[in-house]
């Protein structure tokens, strides 16, 4: 396996110190290219870029293995050369890299881990600043940046419009009836533009305010709010939350309760959920000495949808890092299907686009290998500004297709899943 070329620094000097409480960490992020990991007001933002580990896209692919494995190897080498002085000792302090990986190893999109020059964080009422520098460089204190003007995006159908998506669903159902695959997760896309000078922190803030209980993230132009934790590693313990099976929220209390009950008793959604749970358990089992999951899923309430959810927890047995487990888990049945190779082949055949980083892993990792990673859902990818004064944006949403799925119902599900990012962009 060929890892990405290490950054041209022989050694990093990392210092985390506690500071007076910071209420709005987002004000410190870059307006044009924010670097953020946040939930319930806690989290951290990165400022500047000291180093970037990259594979795919414009960078060479690994000779063998996966992008996540190559990045994990490169990260271990970088972390081993870092001199870390952490006076706070909370998750997200010390040396931290922000990562966003493509859904598929063959994607034209780059998979990357970004090491910022400064991190501003807060958790449980405590705030900190981390400086990451070369030994011969001086550390500088960050300053909040003024907020840019409000803006809105223009969005429209992408490569796969609504009729095309329904045709793709019928194609997946044909493959299921033929016994080629049990579940396929199919996505469709929207595309549009935002003003070239748009302060993208406003999108992050809108998502964090509307969906405070999920992970809000911004990494290398990928911005979203994901309800699905792929994996968390902390002190030898691994946890994951599986979401599969979705229903729209009701318009009033009675219809909302009925929607939750219908989801909990839906054979189609229960089947879809169990595929996803089994795939996560199978991926984690070789890396754990103990592993447990809920016997039955619970209904998770979000502002716009109900999800079937199952929590999984285990104890790591071989010192695996968060990135090692990302490689073991991705792609789960919740975003690809089951069995995975057949589902990925069906996706490649039925989706007329490269997903890029949509439904790929997004999160962070620290020097010890701990970290939090979500699946990049309810998100949009921003490109570089063009000569016309606009910046392109692409968004995706998908639904799990199993035996008994209805093309029109699956299309409606994607509309519900698009709502968080579309409303925030508006």
Residues belonging to the active site? 183, 228
Cα 368 from Cα 86, distance rounded (Å): 12
Cβ 240 vs Cβ 282: under 8 Å:
no
| CA–CA separation, 306 and 294 (whole Å) | 18
Distance CA(417)–CA(422), nearest Å, equals 9
Helix (H, G, I), strand (E, B) or coil at 31: coil
Q: In the structure encoding, which two tokens stand for residue 95, read together? A: 């040396």
What does the alpha-carbon distance between residue 14 and residue 128 come to, in Å, rounded to a whole number? 13
Which stretches does DSSP call E strand in 294-408?
298-301, 305-316, 337-338, 361-366, 371-375, 379-382, 390-402
d(CA 113, CA 155): 29
Tell how many helices (H) and how many strands (E) occur in the chain: 8, 23
Which of 354, 400, 396, 399 has its CA nearest to residue 377? Answer: 396
CA angle 138, 140, 146 (to 5 degrees): 155
């Amino acid at each position: 396996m060929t890892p990405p070329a290490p950054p041209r620094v022989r050694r990093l000097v990392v210092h985390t110190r506690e500071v007076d409480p910071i209420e709005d960490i987002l004000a410190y992020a870059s307006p044009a290219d924010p670097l953020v990991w946040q939930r319930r007001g806690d989290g951290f933002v990165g400022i500047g870029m000291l180093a970037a580990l990259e594979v795919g896209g414009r960078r060479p692919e690994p000779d063998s293995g996966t992008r996540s494995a190559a990045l994990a190897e490169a990260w271990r080498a970088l972390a081993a050369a870092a001199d870390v002085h952490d006076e706070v000792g909370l998750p997200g302090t010390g040396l931290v890299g922000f990562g966003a990986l493509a859904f598929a190893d063959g994607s034209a999109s780059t998979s990357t881990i970004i090491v910022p020059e400064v991190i501003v964080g807060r958790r449980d009422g405590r705030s900190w600043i981390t400086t990451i520098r070369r030994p011969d460089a001086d550390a500088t204190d960050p300053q909040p940046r003024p907020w840019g003007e409000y803006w809105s995006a223009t969005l429209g159908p992408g490569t796969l419009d609504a009729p095309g998506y329904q045709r793709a669903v019928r194609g997946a159902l044909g493959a299921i009836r033929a016994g080629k695959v049990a579940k396929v997760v199919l996505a469709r896309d929207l595309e549009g533009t935002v003003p070239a000078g748009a302060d993208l922190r406003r999108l992050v803030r809108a998502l964090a305010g509307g969906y405070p209980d999920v992970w809000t993230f911004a990494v290398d132009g990928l911005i979203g709010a994901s309800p699905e934790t792929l994996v968390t590693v902390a002190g030898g313990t691994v946890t994951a939350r599986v979401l599969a099976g979705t229903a729209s929220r009701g318009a009033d209390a009675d219809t909302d309760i009925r929607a939750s009950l219908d989801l909990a008793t839906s054979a189609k959604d229960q089947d879809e959920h169990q595929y996803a749970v089994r795939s996560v358990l199978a991926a984690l089992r070789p890396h754990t000495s103990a592993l447990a999951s809920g016997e039955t899923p619970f209904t998770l309430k979000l502002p716009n949808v109900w999800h079937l959810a199952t929590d999984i927890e285990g104890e790591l047995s071989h010192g695996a890092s968060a990135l090692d487990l990302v490689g073991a888990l991705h792609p789960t049945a919740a975003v690809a299907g089951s069995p995975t190779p057949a589902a990925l082949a069906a996706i490649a055949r039925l989706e007329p686009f490269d997903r890029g980083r949509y439904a790929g892993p997004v999160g962070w990792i620290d020097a010890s290998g701990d970290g939090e990673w979500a699946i990049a859902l309810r998100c949009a990818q921003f490109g570089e500004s063009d000569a016309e004064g606009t910046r392109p944006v692409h968004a995706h949403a998908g639904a799990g297709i199993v035996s008994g799925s209805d093309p029109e119902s699956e299309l409606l599900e994607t509309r519900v899943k698009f709502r968080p990012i579309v409303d925030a962009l508006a």
